[in-house]
Amino acid sequence: MCGLAGLALRPGAAADPAVPEALAGALAHRGPDGAGRYESGGVALVHTRLAIIDLATGDQPIRVGPAALCANGEIYNYRELRRDHRLACATRSDCEPPLHLWRREGAGFVDRLRGMYALALHDRAARRVVLARDPFGIKPLYLAEVAGGLAFASEPQALIAAGLVAPRLRAEARDELLQLQFTTGAETIFQGIRRVLPGETVVIADGAVVERRRRPALPEGPPEAIGEEAALERLDAALTESVELHQRSDVPYGMFLSGGTDSAAILALMARLNERPVRAFTAGFDAPGAADERARAAAAARAAGAEHDTILIGAADVWRHLPAIVACMDDPAADYAIIPTWFLARRAREAGIKVVLCGEGGDEIFAGYGRHRAAMRPWWLGGKAPRARGTFDRVGPVLREAPRGWRDGIAAAEAAVGTGGRSRLQGAQALDVADWLPNDLLTKLDRCLMAHGVEGRTPFLDPGVAAAAFRLPDPLKVRGHAGKWILRRWLARHFPACEPFAPKQGFTVPIGAWIAAEAERLGPLVAAQPGVAEVARLERVAALFAQAERSRHAGKAAWHLLFYALWHRRHVEGRRDVAGMDTLAALAER
């Protein structure tokens, strides 16, 4: 996992020589192990490296004939690509085979890649720049029109830091963020910066886009006819292969372990595939009544023979580090799980672990959310569309104006995914895969881990696993009130110690309690911040913060405003200090 950026300019256009340097500096945290540069005519590629595979000869850009490539992520099937296509590679890097395949096959080369990736390549002979992103959107990539052509980068903040784009907000995306906690589609919250979409390949010639194509993440078609026993055998093979591929690394690796089914499945498979004990990291919360999964995680770790490391996160830790945590979320997702993810990544790096396997994607692939079960029911039996109401629709008139059009992106995605005879359940899953997964969960994972130079890998988000699970009959995914049925059945057979049919506890960060304890000081402080003052009523914000512990909806809305205040201060106002927000530092010492 690394950082990449670059320019693709029109003939005759010239870049400021300081721009590549500024891009590299802004992405240095993503690649603390090295940096590389490539320039040819109006094309520049910048790379910062986190060395994971081929530590000796894997520096980038990689060059093959007239073509050069920079990549962020991992191509897990690189050994198979070399063997099956008889590629004469000069390095052992997982990122060299894609460059050979491009030269042989053109833009369709991405269909052969199995992994998480954002990549940029320049072929001087073909006069093309190609940008590509993996089908699930595990690795980020952003594109902007700039003076003279196009610029791209792993993070929007790099384009802003290099002076290529101004940090101007899109009001529609701001409303999405406040209501949904993430933003949807190709356009980001910043005017002029768009996402290269999950699975998208963008071909550029002479500084302009000339071709786009998409590679789907999920298989097409309705639920297939398959029995439980056959489904379990197929699932075991797919999960085993995926975890084995995701463990390919030349540096130490571990995993994040909660008390839930997703990470338990990864733990069971890692224990099966490794001779040494698995390194597992778990977070808990120091707050009265907080959901604490440490005991269940510890029991699973003991059963698997894992080396288990736990951290306890308290209010003082949060107030001390929250500005830095929010600062890393330049493409904003107000998901309170950024808090434990950031602390776990820091602990893993302190322990000498540079790669962690994570359970993201399990709920989406196996139908684990309550909204999936609700989507299966017709409206007269309580069924409802996912995210029919936003966060501020549930707390009264806190905002100056009711957000309009905040659900347009979700509605567009609903129309796009509900095709091909898919069941209601498949449609709800596909909707989450289209936007929630890449723009919330995976953005959170990428930014919080890269802030500490740690690579996060997601074995559930693999083409083989998706092929084995997504088209299973609905009853093999959902039974009564239990989601992820087939995964639970697999665990009952292969790792019963994790109690796969125990009631789902849920992973809830006690942010409402922490906010409520300091509401008298936090409420007015947040309300006075320029970003919040523009959209919310001061007196209503103070009242909302006072209700944060008594009402789950109020707590979530207060958290969204606190997140937005800190995010706006850093990424729109451009202030790296916390002056005016020094109350957070003061709270940490109480």
158 vs 30: CA distance, rounded Å:
11
Q: Reduced to 3 states, what is the DSSP secondary structure of residue 198? A: coil
Q: Which three-class secondary structure string do you get for 450-499?
A: HCCCCEEECCCCCHHHHHHHCCCCHHHCCECCECCHHHHHHHHHHCHHHC
Asked if omega into 97 is within 30° of 0 (cis), the reply is no
51 vs 58: CA distance, rounded Å:
8
Q: Reduced to 3 states, what is the DSSP secondary structure of residue 122? A: strand
145 vs 147: CA distance, rounded Å:
7
Q: Which three-class secondary structure string do you get for 539-562?
A: HHHHHHHHCCCCCHHHHHHHHHHH
- Other beta carbons within 10 angstroms of residue 166's beta carbon come to 11
Please tell me the chain's helix, strand, coil percentages from 3-state DSSP, rounded to the nearest 5: 45, 20, 40
Per DSSP bridges, beta strands 62-64 and 67-75 are antiparallel
230 vs 531: CA distance, rounded Å:
54
Q: In 3D, which of 174, 169, 177, 129 has the Cα closest to residue 152?
A: 129
> Helix axis angle, 424-431 relative to 408-417, nearest 10°?
130
Write out the two tokens for 417: 């995914």
Q: Which three-class secondary structure string do you get for 419-454?
A: CCCCCHHHHHHHHHHHHHHHHHHHHHHHHHHHCCCC
DSSP H or E segment with residue 120: strand 115-123
Confirm whether residue 250 is marked as ligand binding: no
Decide: 194 and 188 in contact? Cβ < 8 Å: yes
Active site residue 2: yes
Decide: 436 and 182 in contact? Cβ < 8 Å: yes
Decide: 388 and 180 in contact? Cβ < 8 Å: no
253 vs 354: CA distance, rounded Å:
6
271 vs 280: CA distance, rounded Å:
11
In eight-state DSSP terms, residue 123 is E
Residues 6+ apart with CB under 8 A from 174: 189, 535, 564
- Other beta carbons within 10 angstroms of residue 87's beta carbon come to 17
DSSP H or E segment with residue 245: helix 228-246
Amino acid, single-letter form, for residue 367: A
In eight-state DSSP terms, residue 328 is T
Catalytic residues: 2
Instruction: Mark the binding-site residues for L-glutamine, compressed into ranges.
Output: 94
Instruction: Mark the binding-site residues, compressed into ranges.
Output: 94
